[in-house]
């Protein structure tokens, strides 16, 4: 057989696959893929993980709302809606969807001094951009992100998160955040305002979490003891939230006030579902949708790309242990 015959016998273009509505639904709604294979052992692990992550997200979400300059309930709403949606459409179980300190700080940098309607509209438009990116299958762009970029982004993100929590760790009130160096400078400049109660509670929680993380490394021939250490280790976040909440409740109810700053009262229940306001009122002035978009500016594009990059960085970090980087 000559070379010409070989070349002609092989089709140059791949044959198109027939469109299937069922396969399209299965690709987009991933719960239909993993739910039929779900087992009782998965349920036990997910119950423990859900309880731990849920109890951890409550104080975290309140803190993130504070970072974004919003009332505490908005952080809780965001944590709930994001997790609930990811159940149906999520593709990677090791990545959690919800508010983060990075996104809260970014949102605050663009909406500082603006009404809440601007933040809600920014969240909606950023979600639309992410949805459009998924619809156009732009995930391949992630392949062009260098590991050095994700490593640097992760390190910078960790430094930003630590810096953003210094105010709460030391109980410093009215400390504005205008960058990492600015926060550290203000913390040292206002060392005389550091609250002892907040510092003791914060440092104790850090020591507790690090200590409980090491429990599974304790060698023991007793299987019951080993499982107990494992359970305490993975439940450390839930335990610390329960203990600190109990301490705060005791001081507030029986001592007339806590020696550390509390989050304050949070409205009960969920708000009514409705689309964002495509216009708002500032004093006696009515602001149109286009004016709000103009004020938000590049944040409508910056936030979605930052969110994607953050999730890719987290997924690749987990991928070193679970080997699923190729799924991204």
Residue 328 has a pLDDT of 44
Q: Are residues 102 and 239 in the same domain?
A: no
Domain holding 82, by residue range, is 42-176+274-328
Q: Is residue 185 part of a domain?
A: no
Return per-residue pLDDT of the chain as tens, 328 residues: 444 443 344 444 455 556 677 777 777 788 888 888 888 888 888 887 788 788 778 878 888 888 888 888 888 888 888 888 888 887 776 666 778 878 888 888 889 889 899 999 999 999 899 888 888 877 777 777 777 777 787 788 788 878 878 888 888 877 776 778 888 888 888 888 888 888 998 899 899 989 998 888 888 788 888 888 888 888 888 888 888 888 888 888 888 777 787 777 778 888 888 888 898 888 788 889 999 999 999 999 989 888 887 777 777 766 666 654 444 4
Q: Are residues 131 and 98 in the same domain?
A: yes
Domain end residue (candidates: 234, 260, 286) = 260
Q: Are residues 284 and 250 in the same domain?
A: no
Q: Are residues 58 and 148 in the same domain?
A: yes
- Cα separation of 274 and 101, whole Å? 26
Q: Is residue 56 part of a domain?
A: yes
Residue 28 has a pLDDT of 78
Residue 94 has a pLDDT of 66
Q: Are residues 170 and 231 in the same domain?
A: no
- Cα separation of 183 and 67, whole Å? 13
Q: Dig out the tokens for 86 from the structure.
A: 């990811």
Domain end residue (candidates: 226, 260, 294) = 260
- Residue 274's alpha-carbon distances to 70, 215, 218, 278, in angstroms, are 19, 46, 52, 12
Sign of CA dihedral 138, 139, 140, 141: positive
Domain count, the chain: 2
Q: Are residues 124 and 70 in the same domain?
A: yes
Q: Distance between the two ends of the chain, CA-based, in angstroms?
A: 43
Instruction: Judge contact between 215 and 233, C-beta under 8 A.
Output: yes
Q: Are residues 99 and 162 in the same domain?
A: yes
pTM > 0.85: no
Q: Is residue 149 part of a domain?
A: yes
Q: Are residues 112 and 87 in the same domain?
A: yes
**Residues 6+ positions from 123 with CB-CB distance below 8 Å:** 78, 107, 276
Q: Are residues 204 and 303 in the same domain?
A: no
CB-CB neighbours of 90 under 10 Å:
15
Q: Is residue 11 part of a domain?
A: no
Q: Is residue 6 part of a domain?
A: no
Instruction: Judge contact between 71 and 89, C-beta under 8 A.
Output: no
Residue 125 has a pLDDT of 93
- Cα separation of 98 and 81, whole Å? 8
> Residue 30 has what DSSP assignment?
T
Q: Is residue 2 part of a domain?
A: no
Q: Is residue 28 part of a domain?
A: no
- Cα separation of 180 and 159, whole Å? 8
Q: Are residues 238 and 207 in the same domain?
A: yes
Going through the chain in order, the beta strands assigned E by DSSP cover 279-282, 285-288
Render 227-285 in DSSP notation, one character per residue.
HHHHHHHHTHHHHHHHHHHHHHHHHHHHSSS-SS--------S-PPP-PPPSEEEETTE
Q: Is residue 206 part of a domain?
A: yes
Paired residues of 285 in beta bridges: 282
Q: Are residues 151 and 299 in the same domain?
A: yes
Domain end residue (candidates: 260, 283, 310) = 260
Q: Are residues 307 and 163 in the same domain?
A: yes
Q: How many residues does the chain have?
A: 328
């Amino acid at each position: 057989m000559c070379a010409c015959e070989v070349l002609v016998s092989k089709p140059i273009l791949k044959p198109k696959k027939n469109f299937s509505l069922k396969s399209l639904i299965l690709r987009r709604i991933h719960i239909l893929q993993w739910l039929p294979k779900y087992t009782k052992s998965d349920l036990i692990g997910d119950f423990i993980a859900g309880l731990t992550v849920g109890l951890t997200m409550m104080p975290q979400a309140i803190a993130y709302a504070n970072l974004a300059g919003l009332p505490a309930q908005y952080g809780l709403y965001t944590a709930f809606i994001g997790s609930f949606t990811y159940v149906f459409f999520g593709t990677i179980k090791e990545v959690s969807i919800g508010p983060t300190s990075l996104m809260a700080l970014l949102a605050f940098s663009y909406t500082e001094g603006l009404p809440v309607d601007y933040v809600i509209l920014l969240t909606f438009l950023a979600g639309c951009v992410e949805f459009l990116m998924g619809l156009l299958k732009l995930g391949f762009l992630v392949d062009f992100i260098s590991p050095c970029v994700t490593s640097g982004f992760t390190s910078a993100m960790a430094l930003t998160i630590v810096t953003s929590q210094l105010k709460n760790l030391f109980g410093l009130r009215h400390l504005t955040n205008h960058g990492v160096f600015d926060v550290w400078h203000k913390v040292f400049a206002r060392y005389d305002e550091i609250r002892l109660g907040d510092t003791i509670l914060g440092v104790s929680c850090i020591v507790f979490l690090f200590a409980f993380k090491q429990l599974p490394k304790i060698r023991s021939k007793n299987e019951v003891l080993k499982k107990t250490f494992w359970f305490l280790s993975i439940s450390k976040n839930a335990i610390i939230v329960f203990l600190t909440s109990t301490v705060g409740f005791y001081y507030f109810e029986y001592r007339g006030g806590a020696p550390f700053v509390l989050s304050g009262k949070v409205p009960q229940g969920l708000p009514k579902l409705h689309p964002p306001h495509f216009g708002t009122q500032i004093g006696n002035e009515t602001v149109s949708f286009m004016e709000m978009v103009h004020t938000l500016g590049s944040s409508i594009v910056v936030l979605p790309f930052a969110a994607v990059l953050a999730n890719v960085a987290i997924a690749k970090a987990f991928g070193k242990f679970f080997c699923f980087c190729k799924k991204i």
